[in-house]
Amino acid sequence: MSKTNIAIDAMGGDNAPNSVIDGLAISFIRHPETHFIIYGDKSKIAPLMKNKKELIPVCTLIDVKNSIKDDEKASKTLRKMEPTSMSMAIECVSSGKADAIVSGGNSGALMALSIFGLKRILGINRPAMAAVMPTKIGEVIALDLGANVECSTQNLLEFALLGVIFAQKVLGKPEPRLGLLNVGEEENKGKQIINEAANYILNSQLAPFFKGYVEGNKIVLGDYDVVVCDGFSGNIMLKTAEGTADLCTYFMRQVLSSNLFGKLAYFFGRSSFSALRDKLDPRKHNGAVLLGLNGIVVKSHGGTDALGFAHAVDLAVDMAEGGYNSAISSEIEKLKLKENNL
């Protein structure tokens, strides 16, 4: 088996490059055979590498002085003549030298440069932003989460394919349960394009996986492995879930520190409270993925720390080693054939 190569934009994110290098050191423990091609300012990265000697044999450091600012417009990044750490990392995937890219940088720039540099998989009209979210009994992959505010029925059908194969190849679920996000579970509820998408799915190779409509409050129950929606609804769903997790953490901290009884409760139950805090930790599910391109693109949260970045790298490695993109290419032709028979 050939070694997996991951391109790293070391200058993207609030705490870069420190959190990036520290994160690679954590991910290296879990994936010692992976090779990292790091793009960024060598004068800032090399001193950090000296304290992570275990990384030196598995890393190639490419000196790139320029990086993309967090507030830089995507259109401006496409017009840049000078190479940046992000654009060079994407080019590394485009040329076949790396299997995936991980960046915590500007989301709009990463999306624009990835679409321009990697191009869409033949048969996929629009790429989708996806993320793995926790449920009561496992995980669910949700998409689209903001790449496409307006979607067509065909887009939703393609997102369903992207999500099902992700669940199979990355989450290890051979028969994933697929649902369409809607305002109700009853047949013919919601927008026309959602009803049409359900009909398309039922007339495709995805039919055995389709379990119907799912309401927003039911996603966390764990009854679905893949949830498909347009980017407008998906982004609101994701941000609401993140805010709710923060609110729960805030309330728990407030109760346990507000008086003596709360402090005593924490003292006697601290192991259980630590386990709860661990389940709510957003770093454990860090890493949104831009699906549908000729290359794997993982977006780490810009404000995450080393542990969060390590999880984003882990996701990139899992996708590369799971053969995600090759599976998409083989299944998209079947989807088109089924579509023509509607």
Tokens of 280: 């709510």
In contact, 95 and 19? CB cutoff 8 Å = no
> Are the beta carbons of 181 and 143 closer than 8 angstroms?
no
Instruction: Say if residue 134 is in the same domain as residue 71.
Output: no
d(CA 226, CA 162): 10
Q: Are 304 and 19 in contact (CB under 8 A)?
A: yes
- Do 95 and 169 fall within a single domain? no
Instruction: Summarize the confidence of residues 90-109 as an average pLDDT.
Output: 95
Residue 14, number of CB atoms within 10 A of its CB: 12
**Residue 276 has what pLDDT?**
60
| Domain match, 132 and 262 both | yes
119 and 142 share one domain: no
Average pLDDT, the chain: 89
Answer yes or no: do 270 and 237 share one domain: yes
Q: Last residue of a domain, which of 232, 264, 284?
A: 284
Asked whether residue 119 falls in the same domain as residue 149, the answer is: no
| More confident site: 225 or 285 | 225
Same domain (yes/no): 91, 135: no
**CATH code at 65?**
3.40.718.10
In a domain, 329, yes or no: no
Report helix, strand or coil for 102. strand
Average pLDDT over residues 58-82: 88
Quote the pLDDT of residue 168. Answer: 93
Co-location of 161 and 113 in the same domain: no
- The pLDDT tens digits of the residues spanning 152-200 come to 999 999 999 999 999 999 999 999 999 999 999 888 888 999 999 999 9
Opening angle at CA 162, ends 141 and 317, nearest 5? 70
Mean pLDDT calculated for residue range 208-233: 95
Structural domain harbouring 167: 125-284
The mean pLDDT of 103-120, rounded to a whole number, is 93
Residues 264 and 319 in one domain: no
Q: What is the mean pLDDT of residues 325-334?
A: 83
Q: How many residues make up the chain in this entry?
A: 342
DSSP-assigned letters across all residues of 320-339: HHTTHHHHHHHHHHHHHHHH
Residue 156 lies in a domain: yes
Contact in structure between 315 and 133 (CB atoms under 8 Å)? no
The verdict on residue 337 lying in a domain is no
199 and 143 assigned to the same domain: yes
Q: Is 236 among the domain residues?
A: yes
pLDDT of residue 1: 44
Average of per-residue pLDDT across 91-106: 95
In this predicted structure, the answer to whether residue 340 has a pLDDT above a threshold of 70 is: no
- Residue 254: φ, ψ to 5°: -65, -45
Q: What is the pLDDT of residues 2-31, one digit of tens each?
A: 689 999 999 999 999 999 999 999 999 999
Indicate if the pLDDT at residue 337 is higher than 60: no
Question: 297 with 100: CB under 8 angstroms?
Answer: yes
Question: 259 in a domain, yes or no?
Answer: yes
- pLDDT category at 266 given cuts 50, 70, 90 is low
Same domain, 270 and 296: no
Residue 272: pLDDT over 70: no
Q: How many domains does the chain have?
A: 2
The token pair at 80 is 């840049």
Q: Which among 25, 36, 53, 28 has a CA at the least distance from the CA of 89?
A: 36
Q: Is residue 147 part of a domain?
A: yes
CA distance 282 to 275: 14
Residue 342 lies inside a defined structural domain of this protein = no
Tens of pLDDT, residue by residue over 133-156, are 989 888 999 999 998 999 999 999
> Same structural domain for residues 307 and 229?
no
Please report the pLDDT score of residue 216 as a whole number.
92
Q: Is residue 143 part of a domain?
A: yes
119: helix, coil or strand? coil
pTM, to two decimals: 0.88
Average of per-residue pLDDT across 41-62: 93
